[in-house]
Structure 1
C-alpha cells in the first residue's frame, strides 16, 4: 500500500447539519463535530482540549444526517481528510481541511435522537459517499460552506 487517508472520529455535533443541493440535485450536508482530549498535566491539574472538525456528507447519507442528527448528538464518523482552496468574495484566497464522511453511526440513547423520526438502525454507511468534489460537477461557488 503506497498511502492511506482514513479518519475515524467520535464526537458531538456543534450544530444541526446544513443540507444544500448541487445544481444536479445531489444533496451535500455539512456540520461541525467536536472531539475532546483530556489529560492531567505535571502539576496534577486536569486539562481538556477540544478540536472542531468540519464534516461533509454526500447523497443519501446527507439526507439521513439532515433527518436524524441535531446539535449535541454523539456520532461516529468514518471517512477521509480533504483540503480545498477557494477565493472568497473579497478576493482573498482561503484554504480549509474537511472530513469527507463515508460512514456514520448515531451513538447515545434514543432520547438524544431527533424527535423527527424513529431511530430504527443507527448505522448508515457504505453509500458511495467518497466522491471527490471534482467528480460532482460543481464549482467552488456551489460549495455551501
Structure 2
C-alpha cells in the first residue's frame, strides 16, 4: 500500500452571492487581501421525498490583483463564481477550545451578473446563440477519413 501514488489535486468551484461588502486590506508588506463569504445552498431530498434547500456560507480569501478586482466589481449580493483551493487553519478560541476553519483561497473570481457599459460607450448587446441548421444529416465517418 505504500506504493500508492495519489495526484495532488485540490480544486474547488463555488457559485453564490457575496454576503457582505468586501473590504480590501493590506499586509504589512503591502500585499492586497480581501476576505468575504459566499452564500450558496445544498439541495437534498428529505424523508418525505421533497426537495429541501440548506444554506451554506463559505469563506473566501483573495490576494493581490484578485483582491483589488473583486473590490472594484462586487458588493453585497453580487453573484460570483469562485475557483480556488481549500485551505485549513486551526486556532484556539477565547474559551480555550480548538477550532478548525476551512476556507477557499481564490485563484479566479468572476462576477455572474451582467453589467452595462458606461454611458456613452454604447449598449451592451446580447450575443445570439448559433442556430442549428434544420434537417442537417451528418455523413458517416469511415477509417479512411481519420488522419491518424
**Closer, same or farther in 2 for the Cα pair 1:64/1:47, shift >3 Å?**
same
Alpha-carbon distance between aligned partners in 1 of 2:55 and 2:95, rounded to the nearest angstrom: 30
Correspondence for 2:101:
96
Shift of residue 66, structure 1, vs aligned partner: 1.2
Return the offset for 1:88.
Answer: 4.5
Match of 2:9 in 1: 4
Tell me: CA distance 1:39–1:89, structure 2 relative to 1, closer, same or farther (3 Å). Answer: closer
Match of 2:20 in 1: 15
Which of the pair has more CA radius of gyration? 2
TM-score (norm 2): 0.66
How many residues align? The count is: 112
Unaligned runs of 5+ in 2: 1-5, 117-123, 125-148
Q: Which one scores higher on RCO, CA 8 angstroms, separation ≥ 6?
A: 1
TM-score by structure 1 length?
A: 0.68
* Cα distance in 2 between the residues matched to 1:54 and 1:23: 22
Matched, 1:28 2:33: yes
Unmatched 5+ residue regions in structure 1?
112-119, 121-145
